[in-house]
Structure 1
Amino acid sequence: MSKKIISSIPLAQQIITISKHKNLKHIVISPGSRNAPLTISFSNDPYFKCYSIVDERCAAFFALGIAQQTNEPVALVCTSGSALLNYYPAIAEAFYSDIPLVILSADRPKEHIDIGDGQTIRQEGVFKNHILCEANLTNDIGYSDNLLHTNFSKIAKAIDIAKNEQGPTHINIPFYEPLYNTIEVAVEDVVALKSTNDVNETYTCNEEIQFEWNTTSKKLVLVGVLPPNRINDVVLDRLLKDPGVLLFTETTSNLHHAKAIPSIDQLIAKLTAKEFKQLQPELLLTFGGFVVSKKIKAFLREYTPKTHWHVNTKKAYDTYGCLTSHIKTTPQLFLDSLLGNDHPISVSNYQNFWLTQYQQGVKGHDAYLKSIPYSDLLVFDQLIKKLPKQAHLQLSNSSTIRYTQLFKLPKGVEVFCNRGTSGIDGSTSTAIGAAIMNNKSPILITGDLSFFYDSNALWNNYIPADFKIIVINNDGGGIFRILPGDKEASYFSTFLETTHQLKADKLAAMYGFTYSFTNGEDFAVKIDTFFKGNGRQILEIHTPRLINDTVLLKYFSKIRE
C-alpha cells in the first residue's frame, strides 16, 4: 500500500480527511508558515489538485475562475494575518455571483490575538457580511474527542453549504506550534460523506402563476448573467412561439435565439415616452444574475409592470421596485412546467412589433459603424466579427463589457464576466483559473486599467498554452469620459480618468507571452493574425482617448435615424 506524508497535527488531518470525502478537490494555496500543516497535507495527497499562487488576491480570483466553470467548491488556503484580507474582493464577487468557495484560513490560537504578536489580526467574523457560513474551529494541544466531533460538524457544514447554496464559506483554523512536524500514513480509499441540503430538482407551477401567464398579452422575459446551457433550445422555442412574449438577453446571458433581442440598448436608447408606454410589460419574468444595461433598469423602474416574477433557487433582488414573487427553482424547471405542451397561446402583436423595431436599430447600427473613425467602438466591431466560432470568452468590467453588449456574438462563444460586484480587479486571474477548466479556446478581452491592476495574475504557472489576451488601451479610464462630468476640470484626467502612458510589452516579455501592438493603421490585420496565431499571446490595441467617447455618445442617436 502506498504511503503519504501529512501533518502530525490532528486538526489538520481532520480537515484534509473531510475535504477529501466531501470531494473538495481543487486547492489553491498561498505561501506562509501558519498554514504549513494544511499545505503539507494537501500537497502530499495525490487525491487533491493543488495550485501555488503567491498573491492572495490573485489566488482568490483564480479559485473563483475554477469554481465558475465547475460549479463545485474550490478551497483557498492562506496563512494568518493580512494575507486573509486579500481574499475579500473575490469573496464579495463569489457571494453576489453565487460561486462556491471554501476559505481555509490558518490562525494563531486565541490567546495570541491582540497581544502584539506578529501576523495576527481578528480573523473571526472578518467576512461576515459576504459569506454564507463561518466555522471558527477550536484547538488544543491534546485535541480531545469532544473537539473532534464539534469541529467535524462545523467543517462538514461549511463545505456542504458552499456546494448546495453556491457561495463562499469561511473556516478559520487556529494552529499551535510546532507547525512542520509530519507523520507517514497509508493512502486511504475515498468513501463519500453524505451531504445535507440537497437541491430539489422538481417543480410544478401553481394555478395562479399558470393562469396569469396564460391570460397576459405583454410578457417581457429579461435574462441577466447565466452560465451556458442552463436553458435548452426546445424550451426557448416553446417560449417564443407565444407572440405575447418578448425576450431580452445580454452578452452574459449565453442564450441565443432568432426571436431574442440580444442588444437591449439598441432598441430602447432613443424611444419616446409614447414608445416606452407601448413597450411597458404587464408581466416581467427575470432570471439569471445581475443585468448590465442601465437603460433597461431605468425603463423598468419608471414603466413598472403589474407583476414581476424572479426565478432563482436562492435569492431575488427587487432591482426594479416591483417584485411580486420569488420562485425558488431553476429557469429550466420553471419554464418546463409553465410551458406544457398544451398551454394556450396569447393573441398579441407585442413580440412582432418590437422585433421589427429592433431590426431597424440593427440596420442603423451597421450603417453607423461604416461611417466612424478608428475608435474603441470600431475595434470592438472587428473583434466580435473575427472571434472564433467556438471560444471561451472572458470579459473585464467597465467599458469592455459595455461595448461588447452592443454586438451579437456567435452561439458557440461562451461568455463570462465578474458581474457580482462589477469590479475591474481580478479579471485576468479569474480568466486564467477558468481557462484551465474549459476545453474551448480561452480569450480575455480587457481594458488597460483592469489589465495593469491585475498584472500579478500572470505570475502563474498554470496559464494554458493557448491563452490569448486582448488589451484595449485608451490611456486610462475611458468610461469616465462617457459619464456625466466636467472633462476639462483640472482633477478629471488625474483622479477620474487616471491617464497614463503604460504599455504591456515589458509584462509580456517577463511572463513569456508573444506580444503585438497596433494603434490603428493595421488593426484589422493584427486582429486577424492574432486569432490565427498559436501560443500564449497578448495583443495590445491602442485607441484614441479623446475620440472614443464622442463616437459612442453619437451611436445611440444615429442608429435611430
Structure 2
Amino acid sequence: MKYSKIPLSQTVVSLCKEHQIEHIIISPGSRNAPLTIGFTNDPYFKCYSIVDERCAAFFALGIAQQTQKPVALVCTSGSALLNYYPAIAEAYYSQIPLVVLSADRPKHLIDIGDGQTIKQNDVYGEHVVFSSDLKLDLKDDFKLSKDEEIPMIKNLENKLERFLGIQKDIQSYNETEMHSALDSAETLSGPVHLNIPFDEPLYETVEKLQIQTKKYKREEKETKIDEAELEDCITTWHSAKRKLVLVGVLQPNSIEKQWIEELANDDSVIVFTETTSNLHHQDFFPGIDKIIAPLSHDGFKSLQPDIVLTFGGLVVSKKVKAFLRKYQPKEHWHVDTNKANDTFFCLTKHLRVDPNWFFSKFFSRVTHNIKSDYKRSWLGTRKHRRKMQKAYLETIPFSDFSVFDAILSRLPQPSQLQVGNSSAIRYTQLFQIHKSINVFCNRGTSGIDGSTSTAIGAAIVSNKPTTFITGDLSFFYDSNALWNNYIPKDFRIIVINNEGGGIFRILPGHKNTENFDTYFETKHNLNASQLCSMFGFDYYSANNSEKLSTHLKTFYEVTDRPKLLEVFTPSRINDEVLLNYFEFIK
C-alpha cells in the first residue's frame, strides 16, 4: 500500500480511519494531492471524485443525511473551498456532520501574488461547529549553515534534537485538533473545517507509515435532565387542556413506537407532523397548512395551545409559524441535545436531551390524561379538509396541484423521496405520503441550490429506490449534479417545469408584467432533454394528465439507466389553482 510521504497527510488519513469516517468526497487539485494519495490507496475508504466542489459538498451532505455519520470533503487550495459554503451552511442548520479537509499553501506563500491562494483560515465563520489550522511539518533537512560553529557532529546533534522536539510538538498539536474536530462533527451534529498546509513536493510516496498516532478515547457525556425542571414539565403538562406537539425534520424510525402511542392516546394532545417528519399515526395531523390556512380568528383561538412541544429539525410550514407567533402558547418546550430555535418568540425550556430519553423519563411519571375534546374536535376538521381536497381535485385543470397528486400517489412502496425546495416541498406538504416512504428535503437554509446533488448522494447509500421531485429552476441551477459516475440505475428525477419560479406567482406582487416575468418568475424556454442525453438518463415528458399517467405506469421499472420525467405545467394558472384550493376546503 502507498502512503503520502508527508507526515501531516498520514496523520489526517489515519485519524479519519480511527474515527470511522468511511466516505471521502474528493475534488481534483494539486495541493490536496497528499490527501488524495492517502485516501485512495487505502481500501477502507469509499472515495468519490466530484469535479464541481459545490455539487461535491451537497453530494456529501446527502450521504451524511442518510448514514448520520461524518463524511469528509477533500479539496485543493483557493476558491475550491468557497464553493463548499452553501452546503456547509445547510449542514450547520440541518445538523448534519461534514468534515472539510482543505489543502493550503504554507503561510509564507499566502498573499504574495500566487494563484489560488486566499485566506483560508476560519473561512466558514460561525457556520461550522469547529475550525482549526493544522501546523506544517518541519522540513527533513539538517544541513549546517555557513556561520555555524564546529565541531560539526555536535552541531548536527543539537540541530536534530531541536528538530525532533519541535516536530513532536507539531504532531501532538495536529492530533489534538484532529480529534477535537472529528468529535465535534459527530457529537454536535454539524460541519467542521480543518485547514491543512502542505509544502512541495506533493506527490512523493512511501511504502510504510512514518508516523504512529496516539490511541484516543472519547469522553462520553452523561445524558440527563434537571430533576426540578422535569417535575415542572410534568406538573404543567397535567394541568394543560390543549397541548400541541409540532414535529420538524426527523430521521425515519427515530422515535420509539411506545412514545408515539403515548402522544396519540392523549385527547388533550394534537400532533402536527410534516412530510419531512417521517412520523406516522392515524390520529396525527399531517398537512398542517391544509388544517390551518382556512381558519378565521375564532378558529385560531380554538386551536391556540397552552403548551407547544417541539422536537426534530426545522419546520417548512410558514402558516404554522405565523399562527403560533400571533396566538402564542404559555409554554414552548424544545427537546434537542444541541439546539433550540425560538421560532415563535416564546421559548421557555430547552431540554438538552434526546427525545426518546425525554419521553422515557417524562411519560413514566405522567400519571393521568386530563379530560379534553381538543384532539377530537380537530380530527373532525381534518376529516372535512380531506373530503374537500378530494372534491377539489375533481374540479381543477391540469396544473402543479393535480400533477403532485398524481405523482405522490404513484410512488413505489417502500422507497425514498427527496424533494427540492420552494414550491416542490410546499405542494408535497399538502398530500398524505405513505408511511413506507421516507421523505427528505434540505430545510436548513431552504435554498434551491444543491437539491439534486443531495438526492444523488442520498440515493447512493440508501437501500431503497430514490425519487427526486424538483422544480425547473432548481434543477437547471444544479445540473452539474449529474456530472458523476455514481448515479444508481433505479434513481428517478421528476422535474415540474412551469417555465420559471412558480412560487413567486403565489406571493404578493404585480404579476404578468415584463418586469415580473424577467426578474422574479425568471421565465425561460429550457427543457431537460439534452442534459439527459449528455449525462446518460432516459428522458420522458408529459404536458397533460393522460401522458403523465401513461409514463408513471412504467417509470419505476428497472432499466440500465436512471430516468428523468419532465412534466410541463401551465404557469399562468398554477397560482390560481393553489390559492383557490384554500378557499374551497373551508
Distance 1:52 1:199 in 2: 39
SS in 1 for 2:203: coil
Query: Which residue matches 2:30?
Result: 33
Q: Equivalent of 1:175, from 193, 198, 210?
A: 198
Alignment of 1:378 onto 2:402: yes
Distance 1:357 1:193 in 2: 56
Equivalent residues of 2:230, 2:362 under 8 A apart: no
TM-score, structure 1 as length reference: 0.97
Equivalent residues of 1:203, 1:333 under 8 A apart: no
Query: Which residue matches 2:52?
Result: 55
Query: Which residue matches 1:6?
Result: 3
Query: Which residue matches 1:144?
Result: 167
Q: Equivalent of 2:490, from 459, 466, 474?
A: 466
Q: 1:381-530 maps to which residues of 2 (within 5 A)?
A: 381-520=405-544, 521-530=546-555
Q: 1:148-547 maps to which residues of 2 (within 5 A)?
A: 148-185=171-208, 193-196=216-219, 198=221, 200=223, 206-340=230-364, 343-520=367-544, 521-534=546-559, 535-547=561-573
Distance 1:203 1:232 in 2: 23
Deviation readout 1:479-500 (Å, 9 max, x if unpaired): 1001111013331111111111
SS in 2 for 1:260: coil
Equivalent residues of 1:160, 1:197 under 8 A apart: no
SS in 2 for 1:115: coil
Aligned length: 557
Query: Which residue matches 2:161?
Result: none
Q: 1:10-21 maps to which residues of 2 (within 5 A)?
A: 10-21=7-18
Which region of structure 1 is more displaced relative to structure 2, 339-348 or 317-326?
Answer: 339-348
Distance 1:124 1:189 in 2: 27
Equivalent residues of 1:263, 1:407 under 8 A apart: yes
Distance 1:528 1:337 in 2: 48
Equivalent residues of 1:444, 1:468 under 8 A apart: yes
Distance 1:261 1:455 in 2: 36
Shift of 1:265: 0.9
Distance 2:5 2:224 in 1: 42
Unpaired segments ≥5 residues, structure 2:
141-165
Distance 1:203 1:243 in 2: 28
C-alpha distance 189-437 of structure 1, shift in aligned 2 (>3 A): farther
Tell me which amino acid in the other structure corresponds to 1:547: I
Shift of 1:199: 6.6
SS in 1 for 2:556: helix
Deviation readout 1:67-116 (Å, 9 max, x if unpaired): 10111111000000001100000000000000000100000111111111
Which region of structure 1 is more displaced relative to structure 2, 519-528 or 317-326?
Answer: 519-528
Q: Equivalent of 1:129, from 121, 126, 130?
A: 126
Tell me which amino acid in the other structure corresponds to 1:116: G
C-alpha distance 72-191 of structure 1, shift in aligned 2 (>3 A): farther
Tell me which amino acid in the other structure corresponds to 1:260: F
Distance 1:195 1:87 in 2: 28
Distance 2:463 2:528 in 1: 27
Distance 1:318 1:455 in 2: 36
Distance 1:201 1:70 in 2: 26
Equivalent residues of 2:32, 2:77 under 8 A apart: yes
Distance 2:139 2:469 in 1: 51
Distance 1:201 1:438 in 2: 33
TM-score, structure 2 as length reference: 0.93
Identity among equivalent pairs (%): 55
Deviation readout 1:198-249 (Å, 9 max, x if unpaired): 5738897721111111121100000111111111222111112110000100
Distance 1:126 1:99 in 2: 19
Equivalent residues of 1:361, 1:559 under 8 A apart: yes
Query: Which residue matches 2:157?
Result: none
Which region of structure 1 is more displaced relative to structure 2, 175-184 or 336-345?
Answer: 336-345
SS in 1 for 2:461: coil
SS in 2 for 1:124: coil
Unpaired segments ≥5 residues, structure 1:
none
Tell me which amino acid in the other structure corresponds to 1:558: F
Give me the CA root mean square deviation.
1.8
Shift of 1:21: 1.0
Distance 1:546 1:434 in 2: 34
Equivalent residues of 1:217, 1:347 under 8 A apart: yes
Distance 1:183 1:81 in 2: 27
